[in-house]
């Protein structure tokens, strides 16, 4: 229960950051486009976790999906966008951070309180 709640909150948090950022930069086409793609990638994370792959490969699959926009920038445009770099870092730092937060006593108490 605690891990499902944490994953849902983290996924929602990531989506909101990227989506609101995309709305804020809607007049700057390149930044808006990248933020919206990152918002969609953050929504794909739960689906990746449900794939029939070994659990130790889930983190690598998330990394691969999050790097698609950055790969496009580097291969096609020959320049990495700061927006994609920051988004990829945010997505991939949040993945191990979930496991760290999940084990804390404070999170266990909070999730029990929410479940009641």
pTM of the entire predicted model: 0.86
Q: What are the tens digits of pLDDT across the range 65-106?
A: 889 889 998 999 899 889 999 999 999 998 889 889 988 999
CA gap 65, 68 in Å, rounded: 6
Residue 33 · residue 21 · CB < 8 Å: no
Per-residue pLDDT, 87 = 94
3-class DSSP assignment, residue 81:
coil
Mean pLDDT rounded to a whole number for the chain: 90
Find tokens 């496009």 and name the residue: 72
Per-residue pLDDT, 56 = 85
With 0-12 / 13-18 / 19 or more C-beta atoms within 10 angstroms meaning exposed / middle / buried, residue 21 is: buried
């Amino acid at each position: 229960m605690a891990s499902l709640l944490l994953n849902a909150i983290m996924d929602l948090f990531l989506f909101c950051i990227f989506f609101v950022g995309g709305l804020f930069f809607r007049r700057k086409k390149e930044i808006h486009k990248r933020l919206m793609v990152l918002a969609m990638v953050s929504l794909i994370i739960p689906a990746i976790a449900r794939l029939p792959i070994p659990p130790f490969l889930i983190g690598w699959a998330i990394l691969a999906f999050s790097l698609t926009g950055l790969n496009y920038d580097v291969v096609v445009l020959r320049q990495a966008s700061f927006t994609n770099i920051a988004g990829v870092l945010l997505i991939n730092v949040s993945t191990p951070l979930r496991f760290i937060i999940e084990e804390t006593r404070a999170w266990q108490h909070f999730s029990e309180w929410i479940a009641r």
